[in-house]
Amino acid sequence: MLKSSILILLLSALVILLLHQVGFSLGFLAVLHKIFLEYLNKIFASGQIGILLKQTMALFLVPLLIALVPTAVYYATARRSFAYYQHVLWTVWVIMVVIIAIH
């Protein structure tokens, strides 16, 4: 419990120190999501079902592609599967949901 408290305290201080970079990263995720939505606009119809499919696919593809980057780098260097792929995927997905909810 003490280690977790110290870790969260250190991570909070790090986020405060790097607030500009964190904001830039979150903005990058929002722009990437918007680019995917615009690209998927060409594929799906503009009806209610098309909009639902477009938004669902964008919310699925962005975290998937972001999680594939560390997975590919790890596989290229260690020639083993990345054990934390699901953790990275779900973390990015939750962050994307929060970004979308705020906008």
Cβ distance 93 to 63 under 8 Å?
yes
Q: What is the pLDDT of residues 39-93, one digit of tens each?
A: 999 998 888 998 999 999 999 999 999 999 999 999 999 988 888 899 999 999 9
User: Up-side HSE of residue 70: CA atoms within 13 Å toward CB?
Assistant: 12
SS3 35: helix
pTM of the predicted structure, to 2 decimals: 0.81
Res. 2: pLDDT tops 90:
no
